[in-house]
Amino acid sequence: MYTLVYFSPTGNVLHLAKMLANHLDSYDVEILPLESIEADQLINNKHLVLLYPIHGFNAPRNVKRFVKRLPPDLYNTVSMIGVGCTTSWVNEAASSDLRKLFTKKEYSIILDEILAMPLTIIMSFPDEVANKLITESEERIKDISKSLVEGKRTILRVKGKSRVLSFFGKAEAFASRLFGLELHAGNDCNLCGICWKNCPEKNIERSNNGKPRFGFKCLMCLRCVYSCPQKAINPRLSKFIPIKKGYSFSQYLEE
């Protein structure tokens, strides 16, 4: 009845996707990671729920590509849940491109929501703030599950200033490619291969010396940086972007 497709670089979106699936457990629910499926492999279902992280006030490039490739008439209705670091107006237009793509395919959008989770780049939120955001989003997921079951339409009203931010934020799509080119593995790299096995864009290859080589398709999702067991992957210039101590949503589950 429900197909939940999610993209979760560092665990924030996955946590909420699992919670939503649990709240919809009495219904037929399929939960799928976006990077491991092709749109033409999906089967017809009643409702698609797309959960995605917000990058630069927009949906990531791979999420937009997924919707572009989605066959028409595969679902009766669709919903979108964007996950950023705030629910304020700055992220209201994050789904604008996704809306256009779904509308072009004549999909009916039932729900368009923004949830807030801990920040995953540049700086860590204090634990008190992070835990508050997680609790609030978990409660909101309960409400969203009820809205989905009841077929209640919830669509964001997007302010003009949010559209402006979204427009300029699209520059991040190109900046992220450059960020990927400056990533490198230092001497602590143990050639484990975790980075290239888990890169959502297949942007990392094993070089002749066994170390990872980074290409021009980076999303700047930081999965490779944060999942490296040796903490060996870093940008050469943009060292301020990854959180120094790393990030994983599991750090909050362990508390």
Question: Which residue, of 167, 202, 226, is where some domain finishes?
Answer: 167
Are 160 and 197 members of one domain? no
What is the domain range of residue 111?
2-167
Are 48 and 112 members of one domain? yes
Are 149 and 96 members of one domain? yes
The three-class DSSP label of residue 12 is helix
Question: Which residue, of 148, 167, 186, is where some domain finishes?
Answer: 167
pLDDT of residue 19: 97
User: For residues 204 and 222, what is the distance between their CA atoms, to the nearest angstrom?
Assistant: 12
Question: Which residue, of 143, 167, 191, is where some domain finishes?
Answer: 167
CATH number at residue 87: 3.40.50.360
Are 161 and 184 members of one domain? no
- Which two structure tokens, joined as six digits, stand for 202? 């297949």
Query: Could you tell me how far CA 184 lies from the centroid of its own chain?
Result: 23
Are 219 and 131 members of one domain? no
User: For residues 144 and 139, what is the distance between their CA atoms, to the nearest angstrom?
Assistant: 9
Tens of pLDDT along the chain (255 residues) come to 899 999 999 999 999 999 999 999 888 999 999 999 887 788 888 999 999 999 999 999 999 999 999 999 899 999 999 999 999 999 999 999 999 999 999 999 999 999 999 999 999 999 999 999 999 999 999 999 999 999 888 887 888 899 998 999 999 889 999 999 999 999 999 999 999 999 999 999 999 999 999 999 999 999 999 999 999 999 999 999 999 999 989 888 764
Are 157 and 182 members of one domain? no
User: Helices 61-69 & 96-104, crossing angle to 10 degrees?
Assistant: 10
pLDDT of residue 154: 85
Are 115 and 137 members of one domain? yes
Query: Could you tell me how far CA 231 lies from the centroid of its own chain?
Result: 22
pLDDT of residue 235: 96
Helix runs in 79-213, H state only = 96-104, 127-150, 160-169, 171-182, 194-198
| Structural domains counted in the chain | 2
The three-class DSSP label of residue 43 is coil
Are 108 and 215 members of one domain? no
Cα 84–Cα 90–Cα 96 angle in degrees, nearest 5:
80
Are 127 and 210 members of one domain? no
CATH number at residue 209: 3.30.70.20
- Which two structure tokens, joined as six digits, stand for 60? 């990531």
pLDDT of residue 254: 60
Are 107 and 157 members of one domain? yes
Are 192 and 143 members of one domain? no
